[in-house]
């Protein structure tokens, strides 16, 4: 009995688009996050503790227009900062560490998937989950306050809504790159989560120590620098010891530098280094 040789048969289907592959990663992060008890608990408790009372107040309390100071007080809260930090630690802890642990990079990059597409999918999913706490609730409060205002100065209220979107977007983006960077350093998501949470407080302690010599050092605390940024966005007066240029540079550095580190590590991992 003869042996039939295996012949190559060209596949006649259509290749999936590159952006569809990004969407698959993005959707996977969202599905995983929305099934995580930790994420759900932080979102629900965070909303009720931080935003429920302000939302009820704008519905029943009379007000002529939406004020920037009211929205600033909603976002510039230590409680919100702690919940956002906890949420970022939980959401980002396994984004890359899980793939490192299971060697999933072989599957990801066996197809024509670029490092930036992999990072975009992971980051996009994390940002959407973070926005459920840091952007959507304050925007809901701002829009509700505008719809229920008794005055006619809607233009002022719309400008405050724009400032709210800017501040909420900053709060959403601020924690994610750092958390993903910590996730890329370890195969254990618990280490990544603890490392993300604790390193913020280490920087805060360092800032407090140096602030004893000069108050301007407070901006090296991520939580304080984010708080000052909210004041700046909403037009509040900044303390005299805060240099706006230095504040903007530190905020940018805190977002960009971890992103660069993650890109380099993922690129090296993709080529097997």
CB atoms within 10 A of CB 107: 11
pTM for this structure?
A: 0.87
> To the nearest whole percent, how much of the chain has pLDDT over 70?
88
- Do the Cβ atoms of 170 and 160 come closer than 8 Å? no
Alpha carbon separation from 231 to 75, 137, 163, 265 (Å, rounded):
10, 19, 11, 35
* Model confidence pLDDT, tens digit, residues 61-116: 888 999 999 899 888 888 899 999 999 999 998 888 887 777 766 666 666 677 78
Q: Are 259 and 177 in contact (CB under 8 A)?
A: yes
pLDDT tens digits along 20-33: 778 888 898 899 88
pLDDT tens for the chain, 273 residues: list them: 455 555 556 555 555 555 577 888 889 889 988 998 999 999 999 999 999 998 998 888 888 999 999 899 888 888 899 999 999 999 998 888 887 777 766 666 666 677 788 888 899 999 999 999 999 999 999 999 999 988 889 999 999 999 999 999 999 999 999 999 998 888 888 888 888 888 888 888 888 888 788 887 888 888 889 999 999 999 998 888 888 898 999 999 999 999 999 999 888 776 554
Largest CA distance in the chain: 92
Q: Is the separation of the CB atoms in 63 and 145 below 8 Å?
A: yes
Q: Rounded to the nearest 5°, which phi and psi values hold at 271?
A: -100, 10
Compute the distance between CA of residue 219 and CA of residue 223 in angstroms, rounded to an integer.
Answer: 8
């Amino acid at each position: 009995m003869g042996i039939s040789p295996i012949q190559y048969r060209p596949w006649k289907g259509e290749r999936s688009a590159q952006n569809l592959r990004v969407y698959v990663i993005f959707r996977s992060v969202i599905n995983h996050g929305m099934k995580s008890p930790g994420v759900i608990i932080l979102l629900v408790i965070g909303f009720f503790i931080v935003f429920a009372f302000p939302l009820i107040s704008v519905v029943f309390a009379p007000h002529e227009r939406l004020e920037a100071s009211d929205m600033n007080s909603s976002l510039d809260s230590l409680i919100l900062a702690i919940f956002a930090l906890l949420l970022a630690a939980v959401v980002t802890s396994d984004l890359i560490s899980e793939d490192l642990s299971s060697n999933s990079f072989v599957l990801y990059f066996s197809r024509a998937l670029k490092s930036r597409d992999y990072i975009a999918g992971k980051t996009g999913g994390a940002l959407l989950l973070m926005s459920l706490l840091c952007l959507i609730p304050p925007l809901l409060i701002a829009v509700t306050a505008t719809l229920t205002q008794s005055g006619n100065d809607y233009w002022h209220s719309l400008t405050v809504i724009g400032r709210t979107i800017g501040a909420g977007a900053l709060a959403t983006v601020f924690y994610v790159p750092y958390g993903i960077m910590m996730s890329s350093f370890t195969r254990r998501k618990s280490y990544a989560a603890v490392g993300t949470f604790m390193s913020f407080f280490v920087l805060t302690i360092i800032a407090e120590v140096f602030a004893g010599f000069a108050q301007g050092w407070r901006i090296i605390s991520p939580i304080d620098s984010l708080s000052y940024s909210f004041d700046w966005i909403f037009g509040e007066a900044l303390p005299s010891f805060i240099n706006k240029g230095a504040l903007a540079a530190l905020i940018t550095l805190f977002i960009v530098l971890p992103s660069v580190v993650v890109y380099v590590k993922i690129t090296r991992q993709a080529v097997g280094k």
